[in-house]
């Protein structure tokens, strides 16, 4: 299919009324102050690409990839243009014309193979412990990867020895009477960098009467591939995951990663798989998908047990773009925080402004990412909170780095980290048969 025939391009590009609303909310434009970095500029660029006025070359790619894909422009556009989808479609088109071996190695050979990805993470952990990482840096190994990785590499700290997968069974019985059979989408970043979040998510769900299925062959949700122009790979990953989960008889599919829930959402499934043979299966799948915060508050309507375990703590919340913008979920995490005994919730200004992490953006556009992060940290620190809470591993990594960068002694945690102590001390209810 020709680029100009791609549905998001064909249907959406002509709707721009050039009002500039998108520009006023774009965190990248706020830093660069150049029309080519504005969302509207990206729409024009895609239009010129479609009409053959500009070539799909590295220069155009560089302009389009300065975008975080935070979707703030799309949710504020009065014409309802999915600007980020236009951008993603254009990245894919440009990549197909300019394939890169480094990207193929990272996104096709490694990031499509969960076992290999876990092994590499373990190597990274070992390297940190033995000094091999310094050696790799010294011989320039880190320079074969794209962007500002050599400098951004310092963000990669605290890689745990064990993966989430190694701590969780495929089938986890409900405690007490079974209410629901739930599929848990264990995302790559949670699996590799925050295994305790994965373990705690399963414990919380089983405690509240869910049988939790964690299919063995889950692959990446495809979000990093979309951002890096690897649309075909993202499609095949999405199709794979749809088939894997549809093989179980599930009531819901939940995930504790905002980027994963956005990737698995109905809207994104339509973007990736609409019009293909698997479209109906993808719809069956995505209709069951819910972010964990929504599932705990709106479906399970949980009451956090054992309130005498409460410790007073001041928390503030960072809205991941993939949760607040991509899915419109803002109330559920706040509601969940208010249900946690001992929590004093303080809203930060512009809580839904991007942290600048955006998956691999903090590696590929490190300086810009840091400027956006610094603004976020200023707003977080103004609250005087002891904990900065969110529900996206990519945001967590970025915010943890931000806290270190600003010498702020608040802890950056996943919302599940706040919940899990209330479940650890309880006597086990009998598992259902």
Q: Which of 6, 9, 49, 69 binds ligand SF4 (CB under 6 A)?
A: 69
Question: Does residue number 21 form part of the binding site for ligand SF4 (CB under 6 A)?
Answer: yes
71 binds ligand SF4 (CB under 6 A): yes
Q: Does 40 bind ligand SF4 (CB under 6 A)?
A: yes
Binding ligand SF4 by CB under 6 A: which of 68, 145, 205, 210? 68
266-273 helix and 279-286 helix, angle to the nearest 10 degrees = 170
Q: In terms of C-beta density within 10 A (0-12 exposed, 13-18 middle, 19 or more buried), how is residue 359 classed? A: buried
Residues of this chain, 242-271, that bind ligand SF4 according to CB under 6 A: none
The answer to whether the beta carbons of residues 129 and 157 sit under 8 Å apart is: no
Q: Which is nearer to ligand SF4, 71 or 291 (CB)?
A: 71
Q: Tell me: does residue 43 bind ligand SF4 (CB under 6 A).
A: yes
27 forms part of the interface with ligand SF4 (CB under 6 A): yes
Given 14, 17, 105, 116, the residue binding ligand SF4 (CB under 6 A): 17
Contact window for ligand SF4 (CB under 6 A) among 34-42, 139-147, 175-183, 209-217: 34-42
Report in angstroms how near the CB of residue 40 gets to ligand SF4 at its nearest.
4
Judged by CB under 6 A, which of 12, 65, 72, 206 binds ligand SF4?
72
In this structure, which long-range contacts are made by residues 143-149, counting pairs with CB atoms below 8 Å and at least 24 apart in sequence? 144/102, 145/102, 145/106, 145/363, 146/100, 146/102, 146/103, 146/363, 146/364, 147/360, 147/363, 147/364, 147/365, 147/366, 148/363, 148/364, 148/365, 148/366, 148/367, 149/363
Where residue 140 falls (left for φ over 0; alpha for ψ -120 to 50; beta otherwise) is: left
Helix axis angle, 366-382 relative to 393-405, nearest 10°?
80
Angle between helix 266-273 and 231-246 (nearest 10): 120
Regarding 79 and contact with ligand SF4 (CB under 6 A), the answer is yes
Q: What DSSP element (H or E) covers 413?
A: strand 411-414
The H helix count followed by the E strand count for the chain is 26, 9
Report in angstroms how near the CB of residue 102 gets to ligand SF4 at its nearest.
23
Binding status of residue 337 toward ligand SF4 by CB under 6 A: no
Binding residue for ligand SF4, selected from 45, 46, 60, 83, defined by CB under 6 A: 83
> How far apart are CB 290 and ligand SF4 at their closest, in Å?
24
Residues of this chain that bind ligand SF4 (CB under 6 A): 16-22, 25-28, 39-40, 42-43, 67-73, 77-79, 81, 83-84
């Amino acid at each position: 299919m020709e680029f100009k025939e791609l549905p998001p391009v064909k249907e959406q590009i002509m709707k721009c009324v050039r009002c500039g609303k998108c520009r006023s909310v774009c965190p990248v434009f706020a830093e660069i102050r150049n029309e080519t970095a504005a969302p509207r500029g990206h729409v024009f660029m895609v239009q010129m690409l479609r009409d053959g006025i500009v070539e799909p070359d590295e220069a155009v790619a560089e302009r389009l990839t300065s975008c975080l894909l935070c979707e703030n422009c799309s949710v504020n556009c009065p014409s309802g243009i999915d600007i980020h989808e236009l951008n993603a479609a254009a990245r894919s088109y440009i990549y197909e014309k300019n394939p890169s071996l480094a990207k193929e190695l990272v996104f096709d050979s490694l990031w499509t193979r969960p076992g290999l990805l876990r092994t590499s993470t373990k190597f990274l952990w070992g390297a940190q412990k033995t000094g091999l990482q310094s050696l790799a840096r010294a011989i320039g190994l880190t320079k074969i990867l794209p962007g500002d990785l050599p400098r951004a590499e310092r963000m990669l700290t605290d890689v745990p020895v064990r993966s989430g997968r190694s701590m969780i069974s495929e089938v986890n019985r409900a405690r007490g009477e079974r209410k629901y059979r739930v599929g848990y989408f264990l995302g790559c970043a949670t699996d590799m960098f925050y295994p305790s979040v994965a373990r705690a998510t399963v414990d919380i769900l089983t405690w509240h009467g869910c049988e939790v299925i964690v299919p063995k062959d889950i692959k990446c949700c495809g979000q990093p591939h979309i951002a890096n122009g690897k649309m075909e790979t993202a499609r095949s990953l999405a199709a794979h995951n749809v088939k894997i989960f549809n093989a179980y008889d599930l009531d819901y599919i939940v995930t504790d990663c905002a980027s994963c829930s956005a990737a698995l959402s109905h809207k994104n499934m339509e973007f990736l798989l609409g019009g293909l043979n698997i479209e109906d299966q993808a719809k069956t799948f995505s209709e069951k998908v819910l972010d964990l915060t929504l599932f705990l508050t709106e479906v399970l309507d949980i009451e956090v047990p054992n309130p005498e375990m409460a410790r007073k703590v001041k928390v503030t919340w960072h809205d991941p773009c993939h949760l607040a913008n991509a899915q419109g979920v803002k109330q559920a995490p706040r509601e969940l925080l208010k249900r946690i005994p001992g929590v004093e919730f303080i809203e930060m200004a512009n809580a839904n402004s991007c942290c600048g992490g955006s998956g691999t953006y903090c590696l590929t556009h490190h300086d810009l990412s840091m400027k956006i992060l610094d603004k976020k940290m200023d707003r977080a620190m103004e609250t005087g909170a002891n904990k900065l809470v969110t529900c996206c591993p990519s945001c967590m990594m970025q915010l943890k780095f931000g806290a270190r960068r600003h010498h702020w002694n608040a802890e950056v945690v996943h919302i599940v980290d706040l919940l899990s102590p209330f479940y650890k001390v309880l006597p086990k209810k009998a598992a259902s048969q």
